[in-house]
A and B are shown apart, each in its own frame.
Chain A
Amino acid sequence: MSQIHPGISQRYQQCFANLAEKNEGAFIPFVTIGDPNPEQSFEVIKTLIDSGADALELGIPFSDPSADGVTIQQAALRALSSGVNTDICIDILKQVREYAPQIPIGLLLYGNLVFARGIDNFYQDMADAGVDSVLIADLPIRESEPFRNAALKSGIAPIFIAPPNGSEKTLANVAKYSEGYTYVLSRAGVTGAETKATTPADHLVAALKANNAPPSVIGFGISAPEQVKEALAAGARGAISGSAVVKIIENNLADNKAMLTNLSSFIKSMKAATVK
């Protein structure tokens, strides 16, 4: 981890250390950058930060998000149809970094957006924008080498997903190649709050710990404070909630103020559940 790759941003490590001191887990909300439009997007992300998010997971919208359920698909389409592209996402990311110099910022996106910019350019541009980690939804370990190398060269933490069906070898590789944090899938399927996590993640988290993985964070299907508690009880250091957050944007498209108010109270309730 950080000892091996000293160039990697220290924000995740710092964040988890601070939380451990306060005996708290991390709550990490996800939104798509540019949803519902570039102007409101910064306000949305600012609200997540102001309401207590410990780190951010931000998506760059893609036209064909085949690992996402309908809620995040719609978010991507809203962003794209409001004219968002990777350059605009970078502008917004820079604004966010300026507003919150210490918060860890993770990106979640699809591989073709990286190919289109050139792998090395992509990671360098994101590093310049203040991004700490990149998770590519359609990039398994076996295809990851050029991406990992480019990430490390630019000081960005590559993130890999530990799936519920992962073999020992897969989990060992996920542990070996992830920096910053490890994304633990609580269930099969695509993103979405409609399907709750079914399998307890204890064994995954334990296997990752045994392999000295960076801190485990559980995602997929997390939409209520008790699930955050369950994630922490399973040994994870934090929880990611995406579709439930995005749903609040979707439900308040006609009223920007209500959107931010509702986001704020949701984030606060989820964050409160991380206090042990």
Chain B
Amino acid sequence: MGEAWLCPACGAIQPLPDAPDAPGAIDDFACLGFPRHLQLDERLLAERFHERSRLVHPDFFQTKSERERALSLEVSARVNRAYRTLRDPIERMGALIRLETGQREIAAKAPADLVEEIFELQELRERAREQPGDPQLRERLKMEQGALRQRLAELDKELQQLSARWDRAVDGGGADKPALIAAMRDRLSGRQYLINTIDDITITLEGRSDAKDRRH
């Protein structure tokens, strides 16, 4: 794949079909020569990245034509972006979901029971904010936060299992691919909600006031 960026006859760098819906478009996975797998070996990932970065690095094109210089910048930026995305398992999953669904938004609707629970936690935070000296409220908040962290850990384990199942589906044909993607979207939405609420509770426990719009 990496070789395809250089013309086999003259070694000149070739443009990358980068528009996401262009025929033969290069996605983050293909960009670094991986199938759309979710369990990627970190060392191999770094190796491929360095290999490909060297191949198209602008330093090697300084004496080449203006077109090749521009292309090496463009392709290098693309390779960097792919590596940044694939390096983080959650970002990687997000990229996969975007590719498979063709939608930019990853978040699904949050499940109703989770939303209700979070609403109650926010009310608890409000009470704790209004009575900062109340030790019982603080204790409850800490307990709830611990429970959320526990759930986050369980969710991450579930995501790992889903990743393994996805990779098997890719290798053996796409039988239950859409169902797996839907499950991942669902878990990722819940995950983001848990993380935001854990952070919110930390803010209250530290006696800070909410920074409005920090997440927007």
A binds B: no
